[in-house]
Amino acid sequence: MEGPSLVIAREEFAPFQGKKVSQVEGKTRIPKENFEGATFKEARSWGKHFLLTFETGRGKSKKDFHIRIHFLMFGSYRIDNPRENRIPMLAYTINERRFYFYSCGIRTLEPAKFKAYDWSIDLMSPKWDHKQAVEHVKSKPETMACDILMDQNIFAGLGNIIKNEVLYRVRLHPEMKIKDLSSKQVRDLVYESHNYSHQFYEWKKINQLKRHWLIMRKKDCPEKHGELIKEPTGKLQRLSHYCPVCQPFTGSKKKPLKKSKVLKRKAPAKKPERSITH
């Protein structure tokens, strides 16, 4: 789940602020007794972190505690309609509504860590700092564009979908190194990361995200240049989809052939023909 989706989650949770929590259960190992009778105070999101604050105790012993939920690749949340045959990591009730969290990492967050979040690198935050991001990118000349976008210390909340869409929109080959980009290209890359993240949010909210993908999981170039390339790129080796015509590699050094490819070429693995008739 990428940053913009968590903003939507935050908005879904907001109406329940100030209400009491009950019936807590789930596989998570964090202490659940803290929740029982606690007050839900706030939902926030930073990058791909979903942050929930509760207030526990009474009178002078009132105390805030925070949890951090990370949905990783497969995680999800539901309100009221649980997944069948799944045990949630965490589930609780607020105002007769049942909240479920599946397949996610849940931790308690020390108050100091909660306060330490740097909102200026969160793409969805009003505090997002474009100039600072440009500097961060330029400080990593040897890093490839596809990897820098996935760097959560620069673009918190940016995931593989946004990566692919942004690279296409600014017409950059995923494996271009930062040092081979013009200042304008770096600025465009940062600008579009922020811009597309917000566009992602708008489309996701009306359930129209996928239909607006230009490159992600597509087969052909939107500008009719033919088939797209689909391959793992960069140090991270996350899957990229790109058009070799729209996004040519223009770096100073030739893109090195990957070892695996060279080997494959020397000894092409011949698939045994599967006989059609028996």
Partner DNA sequence: TCCAATGTTTCGCC
Partner DNA sequence: GGGCGAAACATTGG
Binding positions for DNA, rule: CB under 7 A: 1-2, 5, 27, 47-48, 70, 72-74, 76, 83, 86, 102-103, 105, 150, 152, 159-161, 216-217, 230, 232, 235, 238-239
* Gap between the Cα atoms of 69 and 176, Å rounded: 33
Specify the residue, 62 or 264, whose C-beta has the smaller distance to DNA. Answer: 264
* Gap between the Cα atoms of 206 and 208, Å rounded: 6
Specify the residue, 40 or 165, whose C-beta has the smaller distance to DNA. Answer: 165
Q: Write the Ramachandran bin of 202: left for phi over 0, alpha for psi from -120 to 50, otherwise beta.
A: alpha
Contact assessment for residue 50 and residue 101, using Cβ atoms and an 8 Å cutoff: no
Axis-axis angle for helices 183-205, 3-13 (nearest 10): 40
Closest residue by Cα to residue 55 from 67, 63, 43, 47: 63
**What is the residue type of 215?**
I
What's the half-sphere exposure (Cβ side, CA atoms, 13 Å) at 123?
A: 36
Specify the residue, 68 or 187, whose C-beta has the smaller distance to DNA. Answer: 68
Provide, rounded to whole angstroms, the least separation between the CB of residue 85 and DNA: 8
Provide, rounded to whole angstroms, the least separation between the CB of residue 229 and DNA: 12
Specify the residue, 103 or 120, whose C-beta has the smaller distance to DNA. Answer: 103
- And the tokens for 146? 């596809």
Provide, rounded to whole angstroms, the least separation between the CB of residue 39 and DNA: 27
Provide, rounded to whole angstroms, the least separation between the CB of residue 130 and DNA: 21
* Gap between the Cα atoms of 79 and 64, Å rounded: 24
* Gap between the Cα atoms of 13 and 27, Å rounded: 21
* Gap between the Cα atoms of 10 and 51, Å rounded: 9
Specify the residue, 27 or 97, whose C-beta has the smaller distance to DNA. Answer: 27
* Gap between the Cα atoms of 113 and 157, Å rounded: 18
* Gap between the Cα atoms of 263 and 266, Å rounded: 5
Specify the residue, 48 or 173, whose C-beta has the smaller distance to DNA. Answer: 48
**What is the residue type of 93?**
T
Specify the residue, 27 or 130, whose C-beta has the smaller distance to DNA. Answer: 27
Provide, rounded to whole angstroms, the least separation between the CB of residue 199 and DNA: 14
Specify the residue, 73 or 267, whose C-beta has the smaller distance to DNA. Answer: 73
The structure tokens 């028996």 sit at 278
Strand ranges in 95-144 using DSSP code E only, listed in sequence order: 97-102, 105-109
